[in-house]
Amino acid sequence: MGAGQISYDVAHLIGATVLMAGLQLLYQRRLFAVINTFAFQALALAAAAGWQAHVQNAPHLYVTAGIALVFKAMIVPFALHWLIEKLGIHRSVETAMSIGWTMMAGVALVALSILLVLPVTANAAALTRESLALAMSVVLIGLLMMITRRNAVTQVVGFMALENGLILAAVSAKGMPLVVEISVAFSVLVAMTLFGIFFFRIRERFDTLDINDVETYRGDRQ
Amino acid sequence: MIDRLTGLPGLENPLLWILAVPLGAAGFLAVLRDWRVASWVNVAASALTFIASLVLLRVRPAPTKLFFIDDFNVYLVVLTAFVGLTTSVFSAAYIARESEGNRLSDLHLRFYHAMYQAFLFTMLLALSANNTGVMWVAVEAATLTTVLMVSLYRTREAIEAAWKYFILCSVGIGLALFGTILVYLAAQPVMGDGADSMAWTEMMRRAAEFQPDLLNLAFVFVLVGYGTKVGLAPLHAWLPDAHAEGPTPISAVLSGLLLNVALYALLRFKMLLSANGQTLSPGPLLVVMGLSSLFLSAFMLYRRGDIKRLFAYSSIEHMGLITFAFGMGGPLANFAGLLHMTMHSLTKSAIFFAVGIISQNEGTKRIADIRGLTMSHPVLGWGFVLAVLAIAGLPPMGVFMSEFLVLGSTFSRQPLLALPLAIALLLAFGALISRLQMMAFGEPPPRSAVQSHAGRASSILALTPLWLHMALVLMAGLYLPAPLVAWFHTVARMLG
Amino acid sequence: MLIAASLSALVLLSLLAVVAGGREITHRLVHAGCAAASLGLLIGGLTHLGTGPGGSPSIVLPLGLPWMAAHFRLDNLSALFMVVVDLAAVAASVYGIGYCRHLPEVRRVTPFFPLFLFGMNAVLLADDAFMFLVAWEFMSLASWLMVLADHKSAENRHAGMVYLVMAAFGTFCLLTSFGLMAGAGGAYTFTAMRQAELAAVPAFLVVLTAVLGAGSKAGLVPLHVWLPLAHPAAPSHVSALMSGVMTKVALYGLIRILFDLHGEVPWEWGAALMVIGGVSAVLGVLYALFQDDLKRLLAYSTVENVGVAVIGLGLGIAFKDAGEPALAALALVGGLYHIVNHSIFKTLLFFAAGAVISATGERRLSGLGGLLNRMPWTGTAALVGAGAISALPPLNGFVSEWLILQALFKGPGLPHWAMKFGVPVVGAMLALAGALAATCFVRAYGIVFLGRPRSLAAARADLHPTPASMRWTMAVLALLCILLGAIPVTVTDALSAVVQPMTGLHFAVSADLGWPWLSPVSSTRGSYSGTMLVMVGAVLFAVAVVLAHGLGTRGVRRADAWDCGHREDIPETQYTGQSFSQPLRRVFGTSIFLARETVEMPEPGERSPARLSVRMIDPVWVWLYDPISRAINFIADRVNRMQFLTVRGYLLMMFSTLVFMLLVVAWRQQP
Amino acid sequence: MTEFLIQLAQIFLVVALAPLVTGWVRLVKARLQGRVGASALQPYRDLYRLLQQEAVVAHSASWLFRVAPYVTFSAVWLAAVLIPTFTTDLILAPAADLIALVALLGVARFWTALAGLDVGTAFGGLGASREMMIASLAEPAMLMVTFSLSLVSGSTAPSQIIAFVLSGSVGIEVSMGLALAALVIVAVAENGRIPIDNPSTHLELTMVHEAMVLEYSGRHLALMEAAGMVRLTLFLALIGGLFAPWGIAQAGAGWGEWRWGWEHSLPKALPWPRPWRCSRPGSPRCGCSAMPISWAARCCWGCWRRSSSTCRRRCDGSRADLL
């Protein structure tokens, strides 16, 4: 069981890193810092996927790790950098809730996840157990970030952080078929292209990326 | 890789045709230039799909690893193919009228037709998938295709609606994935690694051994996730705007089909829970969400000035009612919920057909500008009246039967829950009727009398699906075919 | 068989009207067909009533709810109501043959008219809750469409709106009632419901919702608001059916639930029904007294008459619960008799109103007058109707009020103190309502048919002769009013047979003295004989004529009216409806309707006329419906804000939902 | 056969004697007011004179106007025929109980009011409106009297009530007293007497009953007047019969008893004027309290005066839209 213990510790460590990066996302005040943190989170995710591939002896997880590494940790951050430069978006993050409160909410969400997941997975593999709690925290924190940030770019980052959490959960689930990874990659891909289209279109029409301005119409005013 | 692909059906299997035809048609339509031909190819492909789906009524293919047909999804597949067909007919008429006004470029139209078939494909895929993962992918893909179609007009409102739709549904679908993973985790210790632990057929067999607490947790995520797609309040926000701003045929399939598909996914998970038997009851959560949807939409209906949003909110109302019914559970309420799904999808798409023609005729979507439809366009107007009366729950249409069962069974079991239900239904009823009277009766505005010959031809084409749907709904209100009843009963039992 | 054929004929007629709706002959054909079909149904009902107690076996059709199918059955109660419905239906159809020619929007009436008849008959035949409610709503739906026939007036659309929403309210209430009786297993057949054992609270709810549901359709205060709006809006032969017959179908529903399906209703409900009935009777007739619109007046008077019938039903419940089946039967016979009567004279009066309207195009009392000279048939028939509805002997309206009063006078014998004190109060209400009804119809008849015409249209009414089909229907109905008053015993015997299963006692209202004498309870208790009154009255009338002519002059001289020497030709100097009801408005209106009068007197020397304006409010709208609509608007405004949130806001809602549910799960999962 | 004869006698006696009763009342009233008064037979002469006069009908009147006097008269007559005056043993009595009697009087009123509206004059409407308003309060009162009588005696048939009172099982009943008081008030209202109405007023604006029949003349007016006289007789007989039936003949009685009953029935209802001398002769208000039935009316005079004067004021309010 020695090897099991080590694999558990490492997985736990990497998972915790993903979560820490998620929490870090919450308190970044500058746009580029947010993107960089996100890249770091994706990197950690790639590491987690790689480690799971190794531990579970599931080679297809390396693919997932690769996608995370190349796509999320490199292409997406670069694209976002480029987008911000090109569109001349305001560089600071506009928050809807103070950073302190956001952090506290984030911590509360982590606590909730642990409270929920740990008791119910008593008979699941230990490896899965911890990762699942971590993944759930990441998902919730990603959602929290989408709520507390006004800027469209930060919202997108929040959304992708949420997806990171999902992938973390997926890779930690032992023996989950490949279908899932394909779907995840696929959705991320499509999501990105869509986002790109949207950004351009929003740019064309409203000259801003602040969602509050986009939504002046909001349907059916009388 | 190969062994997973063996899950695909063979040539003799109708499922293959049901899935392959729309997929192939989507590809073909993407390269087809002439939109007039394209709209008929669209109809032909939908007709083929529908015919293939009819075969399912006779032959039930054995479940494979990826696909299966049982009592639950068989009628949904047929229904989806049918509404897909009628909507494609309506769409042909609609697009012909629309292109007269040059609102859409050829490229847009090509894109539209391709996406229409792709959308049908994803829905049929989601319905027939035997794998939670595949189902999830299909629902996600359905979202993406419809997002693109909602933003087709490229107006400010359309883009805003699409954006809202996209963000909310992506988050929702993400949460649903998390729920899916949790279910896998619950299944995996019992059934081992691999695709078996995600197959409905296998999971249902051994659900009783699953870890109930994990299933509880999973269901919360699935409920919020797929519930967003169903449009349950307070997760509904995307629905009215997406319905209102896209082309009307898309509103019809969104309301009539996509919501059903999302609900279907949700119900599959609920079946798992009830097969397990030791979980917390999902009923209260469903009941609360159903009621909140009902009340929210009932009040919202009173303030709607846009005809398509009005009926979009009415869809939320009905989804709330269906969710409520399944939340109550029991053979009667479940039966009613299933029936209501069918009736709502037929009726609501019929309403959107009518709404499409109306807004094209009158050149407006504002309710306040629409008057005297039964006078200016009798066939359309009365069809519209009939459809709205049906959706408002008046007999002898089918919706009445399901509302009767839901309310009746709830009153006998939980009178205190039935009271708010009845109040909400009454509120919504009042709002719908007052809007209906405003639009259908009174002195019609002086314009809108002239209609081109082509316009009349296309409106006959557009009216056929409307009346066809209403005939079916009327028939169902009086007489339900025995096989359908048998399916409903089986599913109602499975739903617990 | 006859019934089934007639019912299917009605559906086919409706289809015919849709297919060939354009031509006038179609409309007349459809109405004629409806007359034939309703005649078939009427005969079906009558033959069943003649065959004695006990219902026909249930007919099961594979319709409706799949596992239950549709059950239909005819028993004495439904046969009686079928007679009531179809008698009026035959009349309305025949009347419609002539009347539909004058209807501007006849194309929006003919297709729905047969369906309306179909719906009402189907309610009576239904033997399971599902079919009952389908038919019930169907009946509302068809009549709603006819209310909207003249859809261009905003007033009618408002009427339709209120009507349909109230109808839906009623249906939901009845659904509750049936749902509770059916139990969780969904035993929706009436046979199963009869055997259902209910606990105290559900039993209470069953009755409450039945009263609310049927009451809203029957027009009991305060659920009557749709009635004066919707009944006048429809074409007159439809109004006649809605007012005269559809309200009766609602009472049928009430009787079916309270006396048959549920069966054991405690006396408190009887008391409650009596109070509701009494209040409806008094308020209904007061409303009617102050109306200027002829058809609305008639609709309000329906509220009154339904109230009277409900007093009878409530009393029946109270007596039944107190173990007095004979008195219960008496009260019920009275209530049912009133139902039969009202369906006849209210139909007649609506027909007369329709004839007046199609001849003059005027519905306001203030624009009519002097029509008895110009429309003698209509005027004479309406006189009989007005007399009957004012409960004047020897017409039919009196007999039913007499029976109910007889039963009421026995009320203080009930064991409960509340009833001992309450019954006289209800009796006073009933008496007051009766007296006010007479006032109301003296006013209505006098202003419309007597005096001098108040408008040019009224003066020229003789230029538009009433078609024969309309005249004859009115004449036949008027004869029925007299007949049912003159031979009450025949009717009460038939009604006793209907009441027998409800009270479990065969009870002959005329047991003691024999055929022409109506002597409930015993001969010493008080008796009445319409037959004798008619005969003796006719003799005395003849004697009076002979005496007056024999002792005095013969022939008359026509001259100008004397009018105490005031001699004015302007018809405006006549009393109007407003001024006629002014004394009563001062007595009742100021407190109940908060009536306020303002007089604008011109300055001396000015030549403008003085104006008296009256403002009245409807307390039910002000205290009940307006607050509800305000509340709905208030909440709708608040809720509507949710349509205009940002995406972030919506995500927040989603997030909160998720977290909330997770917390619930966390909480519930704690061991 | 004798029953039949008795009934026949009742039918014609009530009509034949009604003018006498009215004349008597007028005489008493005159005496109480300190006048000599016309003979008690004067109403006969009046009626005869009217019958001989030409009947004039307005151009705008319909057939209803001409039929109304006959209907009114025969309805009141029919009611009077069924009331036990000197015997309870009438074969027609079971045809109508008190409720039906009230309704029969309602028939008469209904027709009179309609006739008032028929010519289309202001005064006719005024009379009809006031009459119906008063009736809509008086009729329920009458029915409530019936109610309380039936409570005490167990019957609504006058003959049965009389039988019950005669049987002696009725003690001093408060409800009987109240019923009597109420019935008296109703009688005052129904017969158009002061303070509700004044049968001898000449100011049209203050009329109620008279205003309705203003347009009548000749035999029509005679019938209307006669109907009023029969009604007065009917009420007196009713009050006397129900509350002081001693002496009335019952079923199976012989001729002697009938005669005795008959001899007693008149004085009972029509007290000799002399014993009651008004304390304030000449006062018109007092005149009304000197009505033959005043001994009962006095009991509730105070409260009634208040309500009736309000009522009166309200009636007169109709002038506002009249002038």
- State the average pLDDT over residues C385-392: 94
Which of C107, C144, C164 to mutate against chain B (most B CBs within 10 Å)? Answer: C164
- Match 């403008």 to its residue by tokens: C608
Residue C595 contacts D, CB cutoff 8 Å: no
CA nearest C315: which of C430, C151, C200, C201? C430
Residue C668 contacts A, CB cutoff 8 Å: no
Q: What is the pLDDT of residue B483?
A: 86
Q: What is the pLDDT of residue B434?
A: 92
Q: What is the pLDDT of residue C298?
A: 95
- In a domain, residue B353? The reply is yes
Q: What is the pLDDT of residue A205?
A: 40
Residue type, B46: S
Q: What is the pLDDT of residue A188?
A: 61
Cβ of B413 within 8 Å of Cβ of C184? The answer is: yes
Residue B433 contacts C, CB cutoff 8 Å: yes
- In a domain, residue B51? The reply is no
Chain C residues within 8 A of A141 when measuring between CB atoms: none
- State the average pLDDT over residues C449-463: 89
Q: Dump pLDDT digits (tens) for C211-230.
A: 999 999 999 988 999 999 99
The count of other CB atoms within 10 Å of the CB of residue D44 is 15
The fraction of chain C above a pLDDT of 70, given in percent, is 97
Residue B470 has pLDDT above 50, yes or no: yes
Chain B residues within 8 A of C108 when measuring between CB atoms: 374
Q: Lowest-pLDDT range, A34-48, C184-198, D37-51, D274-288? A: D274-288
The count of other CB atoms within 10 Å of the CB of residue C603 is 6
Beta carbons within 8 Å of D1's beta carbon, 6+ residues apart: none
- Report which of residues C666 and C211 the model is more confident about: C211
Q: Name the pairing type of β-strands D55-58 and C556-559.
A: parallel
Q: What is the pLDDT of residue A37?
A: 92
Instruction: Supply the mean pLDDT for chain B.
Output: 88
Q: What is the pLDDT of residue D287?
A: 33
- Report which of residues A183 and C178 the model is more confident about: C178
Q: What is the pLDDT of residue B144?
A: 83
What H or E segment, with its residue span, contains residue D224?
helix D218-243
Cβ of B181 within 8 Å of Cβ of A123? The answer is: no
Cβ of A215 within 8 Å of Cβ of C647? The answer is: yes
The listed range with the strongest mean pLDDT (A103-117, A204-218, C15-29, C275-289) is C275-289
Q: Dump pLDDT digits (tens) for B272-314.
A: 998 888 888 888 999 999 999 999 999 999 999 899 999 999 9
Model confidence band, residue B395 (pLDDT cutoffs 50, 70, 90): confident
Which of B239, B441, B485, B490 to mutate against chain C (most C CBs within 10 Å)? Answer: B441
Q: What is the pTM of this model?
A: 0.90
The listed range with the strongest mean pLDDT (B463-467, C530-534, D146-150, D271-275) is B463-467
Q: What is the pLDDT of residue D319?
A: 35
Residue type, D238: L
Buried-exposed string C447-459: b where 16+ CB fall within 10 A, e elsewhere = bbbbbbbbbebbb
* Nearest-neighbour CA in chain A from B328: distance (Å): 26
* Nearest-neighbour CA in chain D from C275: distance (Å): 17
- Report which of residues B359 and A210 the model is more confident about: B359
Contact D269, D185 (CB under 8 A): no
Residue B460 contacts C, CB cutoff 8 Å: no
Contact C260, C194 (CB under 8 A): yes
- State the average pLDDT over residues C33-60: 85
Q: What is the pLDDT of residue C605?
A: 84
What H or E segment, with its residue span, contains residue C556?
strand C556-559
Q: What is the pLDDT of residue C582?
A: 87
Q: Dump pLDDT digits (tens) for D116-157.
A: 999 888 888 999 999 998 888 889 999 988 888 888 888 888
Contact C124, C194 (CB under 8 A): no
Residue A203 has pLDDT above 60, yes or no: no
Contact C215, C208 (CB under 8 A): no
- In a domain, residue B185? The reply is no
Q: Lowest-pLDDT range, A188-202, B136-150, C316-330? A: A188-202
Residue C165 contacts B, CB cutoff 8 Å: yes
> Which domain does B326 fall in, by range?
283-496
Residue in C133, C180, C639 nearest the CB of B296:
C639
- Indicate the DSSP class of residue A72: I
- Match 């749907």 to its residue by tokens: B469
- Match 């949904």 to its residue by tokens: B76
Q: What is the pLDDT of residue C560?
A: 85
Q: How far apart (Å, rounded) are the C-alpha atoms in residues D242 and D269?
A: 11
Q: How far apart (Å, rounded) are the C-alpha atoms in residues A96 and A20?
A: 22
- State the average pLDDT over residues C608-619: 82
- Chain A residue with the nearest C-alpha to that of C650: A147
Instruction: Supply the mean pLDDT for chain C.
Output: 89
Instruction: Supply the mean pLDDT for chain A.
Output: 76
Beta carbons within 8 Å of C49's beta carbon, 6+ residues apart: C76, C79, C80, C83, C494, C497, C498
The tally of domains found in chain B comes to: 1
Q: What is the pLDDT of residue C445?
A: 95
User: Which two structure tokens, joined as six digits, stand for C451?
Assistant: 């005096």
**Secondary structure (3-state) at A92:** strand
The fraction of chain A above a pLDDT of 70, given in percent, is 73
Which long-range contacts link C95-98 to residues 24+ away (Cβ below 8 Å)?
Answer: C95/C237, C95/C240, C95/C351, C95/C354, C95/C469, C95/C470, C95/C473, C95/C474, C96/C31, C96/C34, C96/C237, C97/C28, C97/C31, C97/C32, C97/C35, C97/C467, C97/C469, C98/C466, C98/C467, C98/C468, C98/C469, C98/C470
Q: What is the CA radius of gyration of chain A?
A: 18
Contact C431, D143 (CB under 8 A): yes
User: Which two structure tokens, joined as six digits, stand for C312?
Assistant: 């009878």
Q: Lowest-pLDDT range, B240-254, B393-407, C509-523? A: C509-523
Q: What is the pLDDT of residue D170?
A: 67
- State the average pLDDT over residues D181-193: 85
Q: How far apart (Å, rounded) are the C-alpha atoms in residues B154 and B148?
A: 10
Torsion of CA C348, C353, C354, C357, to 10 degrees: 170
Q: What is the pLDDT of residue B428?
A: 95
Q: What is the pLDDT of residue B198?
A: 85
The fraction of chain D above a pLDDT of 70, given in percent, is 75
Q: What is the pLDDT of residue C62?
A: 83
Q: How far apart (Å, rounded) are the C-alpha atoms in residues C519 and C402?
A: 11
Beta carbons within 8 Å of D174's beta carbon, 6+ residues apart: none
Cβ of C646 within 8 Å of Cβ of A215? The answer is: yes
Residue A133 has pLDDT above 80, yes or no: yes
- In a domain, residue B195? The reply is no
| Chain D adjacent subunits, 3+ CB pairs under 8 A | C
Q: Lowest-pLDDT range, A115-129, C35-49, C475-489, D217-231? A: A115-129
Cβ of A136 within 8 Å of Cβ of B166? The answer is: no
Cβ of C666 within 8 Å of Cβ of A116? The answer is: yes
What H or E segment, with its residue span, contains residue A41?
helix A31-56
Q: Lowest-pLDDT range, A167-181, B22-36, C305-319? A: A167-181
- Report which of residues C577 and D305 the model is more confident about: C577
- State the average pLDDT over residues C74-78: 89
Q: What's the CA angle centered on A80, arms A75 and A82, to 5 degrees?
A: 95
Structural domain boundaries in chain A: 2-211
Cβ of C148 within 8 Å of Cβ of B429? The answer is: no
- In a domain, residue B433? The reply is yes
Q: What is the pLDDT of residue C426?
A: 93
Q: How far apart (Å, rounded) are the C-alpha atoms in residues C165 and B16?
A: 49
Contact D23, D38 (CB under 8 A): yes
Q: Lowest-pLDDT range, C14-18, C60-64, C162-166, D297-301? A: D297-301
End-to-end CA distance of chain B: 37
Q: Dump pLDDT digits (tens) for C351-360.
A: 999 999 999 9
**Secondary structure (3-state) at C202:** helix
User: Which two structure tokens, joined as six digits, stand for C603?
Assistant: 């300055």
**Secondary structure (3-state) at B366:** strand
- State the average pLDDT over residues C428-452: 94
Q: What is the pLDDT of residue C543?
A: 93
- Report which of residues B20 and A179 the model is more confident about: B20
Contact B340, B406 (CB under 8 A): yes
Cβ of A219 within 8 Å of Cβ of C643? The answer is: yes
Q: Name the pairing type of β-strands C70-72 and C59-61.
A: antiparallel
